[in-house]
Amino acid sequence: MIFYDLVFGFTLSRSKAYPSALVTCVRRTDNPRMTILTELLNTEFPLIQAPMAGVQGAALAIAVSNTGGLGSLPGAMLTPEALQRELTTLRAGTQRPWNVNFFCHTPPEPDTAREATWRAALAPFYAEAGLDLAAVPAGAGRVPFSAATADLLEPFRPPVVSFHFGLPTSDLVARVKSWGSVVLSSATTVDEARWLVAHGADAVIAQGLEAGGHRGHFLSHDLSQQMGSFALLPQIAAAVNVPVIAAGGIADAAGVAAAMALGAAGVQVGTAYLCSAEATTSALHRAALQSDAARHTALTNVFTGRPARGIVNRVMRELGPLSPAAPAFPLATAAMAPLRAHFEALGSGDFSPLWSGQNASGCRSLPAAEITRQLIQGFESMAPTLHRLRGSLPPEGAAIPAGGGPALESGFVVIFRAKRARSTPNTAPWRLRCVNWH
């Protein structure tokens, strides 16, 4: 990957492009790691460790950030006290950028009829376990990002804040950005990607259908609109003007390189970290991930009320995996939790959410730093594979067309970023930097 500092040798209009203009290459940097995303996030590599609620704390995020990626802390399921504790640990553990993630769902109205139907569906399992279903309280479970959350978060001024299920209200997005935080969110369709950009996202995570855990959809609940990573990624990359991060099914360096070839500015990886030394994944979950069972995943709503990908187990087979009886997210969680605890105590994962993407092949018992180093080999190796050159590269000081040059094959794409002081006269040349090309 070759990066240039470029100067337009003529006046640029803010409202008009001049495709025939010449650009002068004033400096060339060979850096296969840098993309427009590393510049945005200020990371060494365009690799994000996916935030995974319930199976990690600050330790995993610290390890990834200290290895050059962007470590992520899931905050959606933490109490305020736990969130403050984890944020304190995270900030103390790394001097590099990190991310904290929250949900943005709209809490549903309680539906007593649906709750009764759900409890009736679970009654045989409660009887089998000898548990009292009537003693289980209904609960809201996870709460969305709010002003109170922002109050807690503000003193930490996280470098990156990411969201799932859309974005919070515009005033909260503006508040987060006022701290200097970069805002990310997940899109599962092109329409969602466009919506996120229009509402303030600095980059979009293109979540393919292969991804483990909860689907990030928020504009439509029609699962027939959900696409795999390699169908979704290039469409989103063509539709928005912000960096696009590929997520779903990426488990090794080859997957990283493939995603970048399809237009990603970076990748987000989750499942590959589930068996890392720093993850808090249970022994039952780890065993499932490293067994033949990991080849059988499905979207299910029986654990939380929202479609999420996990390894198929007994309760998914017998109730769904997509059950019309399950209350809306996150109300299904309350009645499922006692069953999970009971059967896990017996050594069974039959009622546990064994979250996993479709590709668990990269899930190994290694330190997170080593997993990260193996993944970033995809960036190191991609330059000669993806950026096919014909002849020599433009030397420093050479003039090249604004869309590429004769030394490069057709299809060469340059992404420019303009940098000019507000006080600079309009007639002065713009200094631009090529921050990504493929």
* The predicted structure's pLDDT at residue 110: 86
pLDDT class of 74 with cuts at 50, 70, 90: very high
Domain(s) labelled CATH 3.20.20.70 in the chain stretch across 35-105+142-281+363-390
Q: The domain 35-105+142-281+363-390: what is its CATH number?
A: 3.20.20.70
For the residues 279-288, what does the mean pLDDT come to? 98
pLDDT in tens, 61-72: 999 999 999 999
> In this model, does residue 244 exceed pLDDT 90?
yes
Query: pLDDT tens digits, residue range 131-179?
Result: 999 999 876 668 899 999 999 999 999 999 999 999 999 999 999 999 9
Whether 431 contacts 13, CB under 8 Å: no
Closest CA to 355 of 31, 86, 28, 53: 53
Query: Above 90 in pLDDT, residue 98?
Result: yes
CB distance 391 to 412 below 8 Å: no
pTM of the model: 0.83
With 80 as the cut, is the pLDDT of residue 356 above it?
Answer: yes
Whole-angstrom distance, CA of residue 247 vs CA of residue 359: 12
Band of residue 384 on the pLDDT scale cut at 50, 70, 90: low
Q: pLDDT digit string (tens) for 266-283?
A: 999 999 999 999 999 999
